[in-house]
Amino acid sequence: MTDDDIQKIVANAIEAAVDFITSDIEPDRQLAQRYFNGEVDIGHEPGRSKVVATKCRDAVRQVKPSLMRVFMTSAKPVEYVPTGPEDVAVAEQQTKYAQYCFTKAGGYKLLNSAFHDAMVKKTGILKGWWDETETVEIDSYSQLTDEAFALVAGDDEVEVLEHTPSVQMVDLPMGPQPITLHDAKVARTNTKGELAIKAIAPEDFFVDSNATCLEDAYICGHRAEKRVGDLVAMGFDFDEVFDLGQGDDDDEAESNRRGFTPDDEEGSADPSMKPVTVYEAYMRVDIEGAGIPRLYSFILAGGKKKLLHYELADMVPFAVFEIDPEPHAFFGRSLVDILIEDQDAGTAMLRGLLDNVAASNAPRLAIDTSSGAVNVEDVLNNEIGAVIRTKGTPMDKIMPVVVPFTGDAAMGALQYFDGVIEGKTGVSRASLGLDADALQSTTAAAVNATVSGAEGQVEVMARNLAEGGMKQLFRLILQIVSQHVGPGEMMRLDGQFVSVDPRSWRLGMDMQANVGLGSDRAEQRVATLQFTLMQQMQMMGMGSPLVTLTNIRNTLADIQAAGGVHNADRYFQPMNPQVEQQLQQQAAEAQQGAPQDPNAILAQAEVQKAQISAQAKQQGDVIRAQTDLQKAQMADDLRRDEMEQKAIIDAAKIYGEFAYKANAADAESIRAMQAEPRNY
């Protein structure tokens, strides 16, 4: 494709996407912004109340602290999950480094802006990129020698702006000598690169109408107002960008974002300050004609959307936050969208209540003016306690028009609508601890159940934000730093500065969102950590290999973090397996080389003596038990022999009396039996 072909394709896609946003999405955003600002579309009669029940703004202000607490109290809002055993250490380092980058980039303000836009204008948009900026420092030097001036001017990053050499006589040991000294003013240019994350105004973000997410979008991007000087600093030619101007719909978008129409004459006296609309779009295009479209980033500018630059891209640098996403659609609902009708109903009832109170407190009067007995000017005076002058007027000439008070019924209706809004937002007076009657004389479990039940909607909003924008943002952070951060990067990890090399990290890690949902999760976490610490201390005392000093130190740091104390190094020394191994080696070496204490030696000898005595006693008891057992076995065997001998002799006697006499051989056989060895 030629540049003209590319410009035509991309410009048409941008115009279609911007038209879709302007016609279908922007009206809802404008309406939501008006209602958040305290406006309604219902009219009012002159002389009646114009108060507005700011339900939308109140709901946003009540939900935002809960969402910020959910994400900012977690040390790891998003955690990279290892894909194998070899990735465990790398995944932990990635998680901590990404959190470090997120905090350094202003994480609190970024989430505050994204959550606010998501609750008011359907989506919150964050953009991440690697920002390389050049800063110029002006330094002045005086009375430099030739060597010193050559050293300063020889730096590649230094430009000499002014240089004034002068010859002066200097007293030296060999006498006064002329020396050339230099006065100079130089400009030193420093280039610094860092991760940049910025909140994009929802009005400036565009996407095609068929998109359901960033991954399947035909085109997406954002527009921004820049100055001619900004584009020149980006490398574009001044004559090329000076006449580009702004887009046709830029004033309206700027007015919707800021609430007022910007001055067109601003900066017109300085050509470099002339505003230019710049479109940064991401789109898949088959520029090479290979039949497979590839992702490109395009920069177009001006009302005619002139193509200035394009290059291949490996990611879409946006993270989209939504609190109530719509399936199969890119844009869901905002919190204000859900409450707009309730603000109208609440405003109508509140106005009626105030009008009824005013009419009841200051009833109108019916007077008879035909006879001239009542002074009309006195009647029209609404001052409290004012006198009405009459001329013998009977009481029926002035009669108050009594207005019945209906405040009780109106208050019931208002409370009903407040309950409806609480069900939609998940924020109630009971969950905030403001309803004393609802929580009075209630057990802790019942209070926790009330608070947890009321937080259901907030938990769903938090989960939608976590699974959507937070995961996209941390995936974006990991991809950016892995491409631009070199191996010399230092990071504070577990109280110590360690070197990280993001370029060697694997980018295919899964991610899981860790959001502390629920009000009682913090107490449960602390209780679990305290129980874990108790178990660790018991195992450490027993010498169990399951627990190390590093494990105990991590538990103590987590307990402090759960209590809001994140600087654990102030109370506990940093600890890791390497430091722990060094401490163990030092303790072993100190024990081997330490001088022997006589008292310690005596105590050790006594202990050894007691151990030997106990062992000897134990062995003696075993030997005695074995001897007694053998004696018992021998005695039993002897009785058995006697019984056998007696039985043989008796049998011989009986046989001899009837057949023959026992001879000597029979006696010898008996003695041989008694002499046989015994097996005990």
pLDDT tier at 608, thresholds 50, 70, 90: low
Please provide residue 136's backbone torsions phi and psi, each rounded to the nearest 5 degrees.
-115, 125
Average pLDDT over residues 165-175: 80
CB 183 within 8 A of CB 164: yes
What pLDDT, in 10s, does the model give residues 492-540? 666 667 777 787 777 666 777 766 554 445 677 778 888 888 888 888 8
Q: CA torsion 578→579→582→584, rounded to 10°?
A: -110
What range defines the domain where residue 296 resides? 1-37+218-315
pLDDT tier at 598, thresholds 50, 70, 90: low
- Indicate whether 30 belongs to any domain: yes
Average pLDDT over residues 17-41: 93
Distance CA 467, CA 457 (A): 15
Burial bucket for residue 185 (CB in 10 Å: 0-12, 13-18, 19+): middle
What pLDDT, on the 0 to 100 scale, is given for residue 652? 66
Length in residues, the chain: 680
Distance CA 251, CA 331 (A): 24
Q: Which residues, other chains included, contact 418 with Cβ-Cβ below 8 Å and sequence gap of 6+?
A: 346
Q: Is 73 helix (H, G, I), strand (E, B) or coil?
A: coil
Average pLDDT over residues 575-592: 75
- Indicate whether 662 belongs to any domain: yes
Average pLDDT over residues 237-243: 81
Which contacts of 548-557 are long-range, i.e. CB under 8 A and separated by 24 or more positions? Answer: 548/577, 548/580, 549/575, 549/580, 549/583, 550/575, 550/576, 550/577, 550/580, 554/494, 555/529
Percent of the chain with pLDDT over 70: 73
Q: For residue 414, what is the enclosing H or E element?
A: helix 407-425
Percent of the chain with pLDDT over 90: 22
Pair of tokens at residue 618: 């134990």
What number of other Cβ atoms are within 10 A of residue 494's Cβ?
Answer: 17
- Indicate whether 86 belongs to any domain: no
Average pLDDT over residues 656-670: 54
Q: The tokens 């008796």 sit on which residue?
A: 650
Number of domain units in the chain:
2
Q: Which of 294, 315, 336 is the last residue of a domain?
A: 315
Which contacts of 643-652 are long-range, i.e. CB under 8 A and separated by 24 or more positions? Answer: 644/673, 645/670, 645/673, 645/674
- Indicate whether 439 belongs to any domain: no
CB 257 within 8 A of CB 125: no
CB 511 within 8 A of CB 80: yes
What pLDDT, on the 0 to 100 scale, is given for residue 441? 46
- Indicate whether 65 belongs to any domain: no
Q: Which of 274, 298, 315 is the last residue of a domain?
A: 315
- Between helix 456-465 and helix 444-454 the angle, nearest 10°, is 50
Distance CA 279, CA 246 (A): 11
Q: Which of 315, 344, 360 is the last residue of a domain?
A: 315
Pair of tokens at residue 441: 């004389």
What pLDDT, in 10s, does the model give residues 455-502? 677 888 888 998 899 999 999 998 998 888 877 777 766 666 777 778
What pLDDT, on the 0 to 100 scale, is given for residue 438? 44
What pLDDT, on the 0 to 100 scale, is given for residue 678? 58
Lowest-pLDDT range of 205-209, 551-555, 578-582: 578-582
- Indicate whether 477 belongs to any domain: no
Burial bucket for residue 536 (CB in 10 Å: 0-12, 13-18, 19+): buried
Lowest-pLDDT range of 297-301, 306-310, 399-403: 399-403
- How many alpha carbons fall within 13 Å on the CB side of residue 390? 16
pLDDT for 121 beyond 70: yes
Closest to 52 (Cα-Cα) out of 34, 64, 30, 28: 34
- Indicate whether 234 belongs to any domain: yes
- Indicate whether 595 belongs to any domain: no
Secondary structure of 172-209 in the HEC alphabet?
ECCEEEEEEEEEEEEEEEEEEEEEEEEEECHHHEEECC
CB 131 within 8 A of CB 195: yes
Instruction: Compute the mean pLDDT over every residue in the chain, rounded to the nearest whole number.
Output: 78
What pLDDT, on the 0 to 100 scale, is given for residue 192? 81
Q: CA torsion 483→489→495→496, rounded to 10°?
A: 140
pLDDT for 384 beyond 70: no
